[in-house]
A and B are shown apart, each in its own frame.
Chain A
């Protein structure tokens, strides 16, 4: 309809056909200033995978040091996430056991892969034992792995797979802009990653100084969808990035919204529950909202009717 550059159109055509991109194609995608063209290509790519569905998960964070506190858990949670760095495998297992005892049918997730490697002495065998203990304690998913810290990931993925656990997502630690692109491309070379991980969260967990711009954030989301073709979902974080940016990111390749609060946040002015607010934003962006849990299992049909 509205023409984009011929070279860029040729690259997006390749993506649509499932043709592998060569170095020149990638350079063109990475180098373009045409955010709308990049975003449109990424949106096409996400629609081929997910049609018009956007999933979201309501998360309750439980810090390690409050895991033993016996408070009722909110019934809106689709995932209960143990946060913080454990001091030992035993401490992690105890925390998971305590939370699982209160979680009912809600999946309990927790920890970064790097932290679990740390308490396992960075030995594959001990990591495997730790993951098995955590699984037996009721852990459903390891929350995340930071891409920068995965120097030799394939054996780690193998250990994960053998343990029966999966990864919630791959995240970029503090990479933004040009430093993020090689990391996204690295993910695309990991043959076995899709067997243990369902999503990539391409926006940095750490806000740099000066902060990223809307332009650079959307470009990173779009490039993630276009470059990482071996992982199903591109994720944005509702809490960290805010409803406006998270929503706009859905139009340039993201298909999953993480970290929607399971409880109403403090402060004045909140007139809708987080679930209704995220649904409203997804629909206003032209998509169908699908609530999921921490294991990526669909909880509601698109019209909001519960499946449980």
Chain B
């Protein structure tokens, strides 16, 4: 089918086959892809609102056994600079988040064998006891699968126990590209195959939780595999309707084992636009300013995005790969308005919470994002000693703490 015919199908609101989508992705001019995506965005969001959330992106541990070759953040078990954040550190981060109007933590971390399911339950329970209204958008599918394997409980049981402890929603991290050939090459098939990632999300949605969906592109995958990824997400969304939003970002090569070159800005905008076109059952598409920078992040609003993502406050994973962009609430709002949209704060469910907060109360400007911990801080949280360790170094640490 010609690009023109495919474009007419998109404008008519018809669904595209994978072949149509690939043809459009490969052959359509960037301006046409943008125009089609923008048309769909305007249909779904005719009021011209562009949303964002004030939350904090916290990584509770960098210790990970998955060893994905594209990740610059993880540290192996026993590494000198491996860390686990303590409950008190997390409470302090929540206090700081609340002070700038934040409504949730996006809480993700490595697959740390020395953090059992009970640690998460106690943490979530403690947070909810202190901050009943504060939301926990936590634990991507590979982390839930890791906890299932560690605890020997089925994923639905793990999800249910975390839900009871205070889990509010699940981030869509760890999807990378949902094609096993790609996952094997990225050394991330052992943390979750494509089917496993999707089945965890299915369990999450069946438990009544909502989640986001993501895609990390530009590593080793082919264009047709990016398209396949989108169709796998679309199919699950048809089945469960549990995804609130789609977020794409480009692989960040610096400091990773895999290396290579980053996808270009035009690659990002084309991929974002195609996602908006294919994912016709997703209401919301986020811009990734943290990987693309503020300028291309803002241009995402012209290529299908209707959401500027999170203020973040803190970021560790992408920073480890060299990206150090920062946008505070005022900067996000300035960019939204400059592009001709109306900025609104939201929560994870995309309920509008109100107008920009910095206009009604004084909020200090922020020019860089915080990190999980200061360099050189090797504090081991006291509460860790309450949980059995699985790793040799973890057991040694526990024994040392107990002596």
Contact = CB atoms under 8 A, between A and B. Distances in A.
Interface stretch (A8-16, A82-90, A181-189, A208-216): A208-216
6 contacts: A1-B4, A35-B299, A213-B295, A214-B295, A280-B261, A284-B264
B298 interface: yes
A213 B322 contact: no
Contact of B296 (A1, A245, A286): A245
A284 B39 CA distance: 24
B340 A271 contact: no
B259 interface: yes
A284 B378 CA distance: 44
Nearest to B263: A284
A104 B21 CA distance: 51
Given A43-B31, A245-B265, A251-B31, A210 B322 contact: no
- Secondary structure of the B side of the interface? helix
B266 A251 contact: yes
B32 A218 contact: no
Interface of B: 4, 7-8, 11, 29-32, 34-36, 38-39, 253-255, 259-261, 264-269, 292-299, 302, 322, 331, 334-335, 338-340
A244 B294 contact: no
A40 B297 contact: no
Contacts, number: 106
Given A40-B31, A214-B295, A286-B29, 5 more contacts: A248-B299, A250-B266, A251-B31, A280-B264, A284-B266
A280 B266 CA distance: 11
Instruction: Say which size band chain A's interface belongs to.
Output: 35 or more
A2 B265 contact: no
A248 B254 contact: no
Contact of B32 (A1, A242, A272, A281): A1
Contact of A2 (B11, B254, B331): B11
A5 to B, nearest CB: 13
A247 B32 contact: no
A1 B293 contact: no
A274 interface: no
A1 B11 CA distance: 10
B260 to A, nearest CB: 7
A243 B29 CA distance: 20
A155 interface: no
A268 B322 contact: yes
Given A36-B38, A245-B265, A280-B264, A217 B295 contact: yes
A218 B263 CA distance: 20
Interface of A: 1-2, 33, 35-36, 39-40, 43, 210-218, 242-245, 247-248, 250-251, 268-269, 271-272, 277, 280-281, 284-286
Contacts of A218: 299
A259 B32 CA distance: 30
Q: Which of B31, B264, B297 has the most CB of A within 10 A?
A: B31
Q: Which of B255, B265, B322 has the most CB of A within 10 A?
A: B265
B253 A269 contact: yes
Given A248-B269, A284-B267, A215 B35 contact: no
Contacts of B264: 243-244, 247, 280-281, 284-285
A281 B294 CA distance: 19
A213 B334 contact: yes
Nearest to A284: B264
Contacts of A35: 299, 302, 339
Contact of A215 (B30, B31, B260, B339): B339
Nearest to B330: A210
A213 B300 CA distance: 12
A245 B295 CA distance: 7
Contact of A1 (B7, B253, B338): B7
Given A40-B31, A213-B335, A215-B299, A244 B39 contact: no
B7 A2 contact: yes
A248 B34 contact: no
A277 B334 contact: no
A286 B3 CA distance: 16
Contact of A271 (B253, B296, B297): B253
